[in-house]
Structures are given as structure tokens and as C-alpha cells.
């Protein structure tokens, strides 16, 4: 876990169309604006690793549902980090945002099973947006980022 002085938020995203990437960036900006002393690390799922999960105090995940499952890039991140995280007993609060062309429910269900395996705990309701993100979707991403950052900074989770 990170030190007690500065809290650390990790935002991991997978995006091929750019939709989830733009939403993750919106959440990151909102988190930094809401809590300037919070350190935020925004990474593509392909770049994120166990060391980033060790570093952080909480994690936000942005990804699509492809063919009714978690998109492969995000699944790869989980595959690479799962056993090292369990071995180190890294238990984190998380939030999840799924922007997809389908309804996203299968990817969410699959992710929730993975999160239980990590022993992570959800601290916000999952957000699912279908289709191209509109201003309401960006507001949801910003709200998630700001609320999560405030919760970390205040020690609520």
C-alpha cells in the first residue's frame, strides 16, 4: 500500500475506439481537480502492472464489453496481475465504468467475479454507458473520478 501522507489513485483503461480512454481522462482530470494533493496515475491496461496496484490506494477501471465479455486488453491486465496481487494481499477499493455498444451486463458480471477473487471491494455503483458517450456519460465519469478521489483523500475507503 501507499504511504499515509499522499493518497494514490490508479486509473486503468482499455480502449480501441477511444471512448473509454476519453472517459478515463475525464475521470482523471476531475479527480485531480477535486483533490489536488491526491496523486493520480492514468495508464492503459497494457501498460499497467502489479507494481501500479502496489502503489495505489484505490483503482478505477474503464473498459468496454466485447462479444459479451471483458475486452481482451483489460482481461490481459487482470491475467498478469491476479496471482501477484493475491500473493501480496493487495485489497483495494474500486470503481468500474463500462462504455460499450452492447448492454455491458455480462462484462460487469465477469468483472465482479474477478474482483471477488482479488478480494477488492466496490465503493461505488458500476456505471454502464451504451453507445457513443454523450455529455451525460462524461459527467458520470467526472463524478466517479471526483467522488472516488474525495473518498480516498478523506480516508472513507
Judge contact between 38 and 2, C-beta under 8 A: no
Has residue 3 been placed in a domain?
Answer: no
Is pLDDT at 1 greater than 70 in this prediction?
no
Q: Coil, helix or strand for 130?
A: strand
Residue 20 lies in a domain: yes
Paired with 127 in beta bridges are 97
Query: Nearest 5°: CA angle at 31, between 28 and 34?
Result: 150
Split at pLDDT 50, 70, 90, the class of 4 is: low
Could you give the number of structural domains in the chain?
A: 1
- Confidence class for position 5, pLDDT limits 50, 70, 90: confident
By percentage, how much of the chain surpasses pLDDT 70? 97
Q: What is the domain range of residue 89?
A: 8-154
Q: Distance between terminal CA atoms of the chain? A: 13
pTM of the model: 0.95
- So what's the pLDDT on residue 102? 86
Whether residue 2 is predicted with pLDDT greater than 90 in this model: the reply is no
Q: What pLDDT, in 10s, does the model give residues 89-112? A: 999 999 999 999 889 999 999 999
Find the CATH number of the domain harbouring 94.
3.40.50.360
Mean pLDDT of the chain: 95
Does any domain span residue 75?
yes
**Does some domain include residue 2?**
no
Amino acid at each position: 500500500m501507499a504511504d499515509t501522507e499522499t493518497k494514490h489513485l490508479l486509473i486503468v483503461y482499455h480502449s480501441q475506439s477511444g471512448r473509454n480512454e476519453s472517459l478515463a481522462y475525464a475521470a482523471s482530470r476531475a479527480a485531480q481537480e477535486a483533490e489536488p494533493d491526491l496523486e493520480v496515475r492514468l495508464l492503459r491496461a497494457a501498460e499497467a502492472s502489479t507494481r501500479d496496484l502496489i502503489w495505489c490506494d484505490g483503482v478505477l477501471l474503464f473498459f468496454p464489453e466485447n462479444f459479451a465479455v471483458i475486452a481482451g486488453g483489460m482481461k490481459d491486465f487482470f491475467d498478469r496481475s491476479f496471482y501477484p496481487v493475491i500473493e501480496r494481499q493487495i485489497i483495494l477499493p474500486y470503481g468500474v465504468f463500462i462504455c460499450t455498444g452492447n448492454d455491458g451486463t455480462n462484462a460487469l458480471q465477469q468483472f465482479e467475479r474477478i474482483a471477488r477473487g482479488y478480494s477488492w471491494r466496490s465503493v461505488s455503483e458500476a456505471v454502464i454507458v451504451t453507445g457513443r458517450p454523450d455529455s451525460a456519460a462524461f459527467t458520470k465519469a467526472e463524478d466517479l473520478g471526483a467522488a472516488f478521489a474525495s473518498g480516498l483523500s478523506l480516508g472513507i475507503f
